[in-house]
Amino acid sequence: MTVTLYLAVMGGAVMGAPARYLVEHAVYRCMPGNTVWAIMGVNVSGSLLFGLLSGLALHHHVGPVALALVGTGFCGAYTTFSAFTLETWLLVEEGRRLKAALNVVGTVVVGLLGAGAGVALGLA
């Protein structure tokens, strides 16, 4: 990895983590006490963004620095698999197994749809 790519990943991560914080808190304000929707919103929007970037990379030849900055750096810090798994586990521990299962299926399915839509937009 070159120094430029390393710095691009770092720069993206510096922006991605605060963006996640802001989006999660915006959802919390609209839906108090509902962490599932906040985390799902972050992960799905991150999938859409990474899909868009991938489509742009395939069609418009986005370079490796942009991929490192936005894809690995920003999206890597913005999306949050650990929070998703913890939230799902807490739902299971609370006995809310159906909601936990819907969280897993919904996040994966809607995340895939978001990524696919992003790729399609990037290719357009």
Confidence check: pLDDT of 35 > 90: no
State pLDDT tens for residues 74-109. 999 999 887 888 889 989 999 999 999 999 999 999
Q: What is the pTM of this model?
A: 0.81
Q: What is the pLDDT of residue 100?
A: 95
The set of residues, in sequence order, having a beta carbon less than 8 Å from that of 36 and lying 6+ positions away, is 87, 91, 99, 103
Q: What is the pLDDT of residue 82?
A: 78
| Rounded to 5°, angle at Cα 86 from 99 and 81 | 100
Alpha-carbon Rg for the chain, nearest whole angstrom, is 16
3-state helix, strand, coil in the chain (%, to 5): 90, 0, 10
Average pLDDT over residues 2-13: 96
In the block, which residue shows the tokens 């990943």? Answer: 9
Confidence of residue 122 (pLDDT cuts 50, 70, 90): very high
Average pLDDT over residues 6-23: 96
State pLDDT tens for residues 39-62. 888 999 999 999 999 888 888 888
Torsion angle, alpha carbons of 29, 35, 39, 44, to 10? -80
Q: What is the pLDDT of residue 84?
A: 87
Nearest to 54 by CA among 110, 112, 14: 112
